Amino acid sequence: MMKTITKQPILFTDVPVADLRNSMKHDLNQNLIERLWNKIRDFFLDSDKQKAFKSIHKYINTLSVLNYNSALTPDPNFNIDASSDLDSYLNLKFDNLSPKQKQTTLCCFWNKIASSLPEPYNSTIKHNIIFYKVGENLMIRGTISIVNEVVKTYSLPIEKDDNGYYDFSGLYLAHSNISGKDPNKDPAIDFGIDLGNCNCSNVNFEHTYFDSVKFTNTNCTNANFNSCRFIKCDLTNMNCTGAILDNAVIYGKEKEPEMQYPEADQIIQRITYQKSHGNETKGMILTNCSCVKTTFNWADLSESDCQNVDFSEANLSNTILPDIVRMKGTKLYRTDLFNPILKAEAESTEEKDISPLAKIILDYIESDKN
């Protein structure tokens, strides 16, 4: 286990914030962010760290919470964990930290600032990530911006594990935009980021937006994809055993409907969108996953292992699910309410026309398990 910082955060009473509070009464969206940035920019410019620390700590009253993997070998240069305060963060000897540790501290620090601000201010602080190659080496470049103004950039190489696959463990990739498009070159070009066969086990991707990322055969066991959104990604055979996918949005590739729907125009619009923005989902391994309120519209999970998955309140409209053997222990409570067609099928007594999903729902209704 890593060393725990037990001292109480330092309290400051000599920092004037009346002007900052007054500025909140008028033109909130601009003045709050501008004034907050004026207080903290010196911290990253290495000119007046103590002044920046006082202002941040006094105004937003936050801690530098770091979701660092405590299972890793303890590092005396990185004695920070979830109970550490900003004073501990400032006292870190950054020159002695590894690239991953620097990325973790920086991104967690900014994320804590963003999450401490109310809407709409928190959405003005963004973390964009681009993967690119230099020769045979995979690199990560991060850009942190406030109100579309770049305030910090970083880059580091991604190391490989003992099996020769890229290892993302130890990186902080939550609250990010991960894309195969490089806005500094040509945003219209899709570079097709390939994370296939990589090790993303236990990585925190919470609230991250994935655009055109390939996860084929990627090890994402126990990863956190809570509230993530996937657009035009290849998730074929992605191993999500034990992962958290609550509130995630994963549209599948739309197939031509075999029956007429009353909302014809809306269906056509969804078809057009999902054909261009949907994800390849065949063979995803979802064993023991939490998929509460997850959207899997039109996803093909026919070859997926969905045993012991919690699909409570998930949107499985027109989703192709596997046979009942690979759905053993799966929770489907309220799932059918999102699809009136499947609900009608489940209530039918004509089993010969019942789809596999409706059959499972009917079995649950009859057994009174839900």
Instruction: Over range 269-287, report the average pLDDT.
Output: 76
Measured distance CA(254)–CA(250) in Å, rounded: 12
Which DSSP letter does residue 175 get?
S
Highest mean pLDDT, choosing among 76-85, 277-286, 333-342 = 277-286
Whether the predicted pLDDT of 15 surpasses 50: no
The confidence score (pLDDT) of residue 235 equals 95
Instruction: Over range 273-292, report the average pLDDT.
Output: 86
Which DSSP letter does residue 184 get?
T
Helix (H, G, I), strand (E, B) or coil at 128: strand
Structural domains of the chain sorted by starting position, each given as residue range(s) with its CATH number in brackets: 1-143 (no CATH), 159-331 (2.160.20)
The confidence score (pLDDT) of residue 154 equals 83
pLDDT per residue over 170-183, tens digit each? 788 888 888 766 55
Band (pLDDT 50/70/90 cuts) for residue 46 is: very low
The confidence score (pLDDT) of residue 71 equals 40
The confidence score (pLDDT) of residue 121 equals 62
Which DSSP letter does residue 145 get?
E
Q: Burial letters for 62-71: b for 16+ Cβ neighbours within 10 Å, e otherwise?
A: bbbbbbbbee
The confidence score (pLDDT) of residue 308 equals 93
Whether the predicted pLDDT of 303 surpasses 60: yes
Q: What percent of the chain shows pLDDT beyond 90?
A: 21
Strand 125-134 with 177-179, pairing? parallel
- What's the sign of the alpha-carbon dihedral 295, 300, 302, 303? negative
The confidence score (pLDDT) of residue 310 equals 93
Measured distance CA(83)–CA(105) in Å, rounded: 13
Strand 213-214 with 137-146, pairing? unpaired
Contact (CB, 8 A) for 41 and 80:
no
Which comes out higher in pLDDT, residue 369 or 125?
125
Instruction: Over range 288-295, report the average pLDDT.
Output: 95
Q: At what angle do helices 28-45 and 49-59 cross, to 10 degrees?
A: 140
pLDDT per residue over 185-237, tens digit each? 555 555 567 788 899 998 989 889 998 888 999 999 999 999 999 999 999 99
pLDDT per residue over 325-357, tens digit each? 898 888 886 544 444 444 454 455 444 455 565
Band (pLDDT 50/70/90 cuts) for residue 134 is: confident
Instruction: Over range 293-301, report the average pLDDT.
Output: 92
Residues 235, 130, 74: CA angle, nearest 5 degrees: 85
User: Shortest CA distance to 311 belongs to which of 326, 296, 323?
Assistant: 296
Band (pLDDT 50/70/90 cuts) for residue 96 is: confident
Q: Which tokens belong to 30? A: 């601009």
The confidence score (pLDDT) of residue 172 equals 83
Whether the predicted pLDDT of 17 surpasses 50: no
The confidence score (pLDDT) of residue 187 equals 55
The confidence score (pLDDT) of residue 222 equals 93
Whether the predicted pLDDT of 51 surpasses 60: no
The confidence score (pLDDT) of residue 55 equals 45
Which comes out higher in pLDDT, residue 107 or 212?
212
pTM over 0.75: no
Which DSSP letter does residue 149 get?
E
End-to-end CA distance of the chain: 41
Residues 288, 290, 291: CA angle, nearest 5 degrees: 125
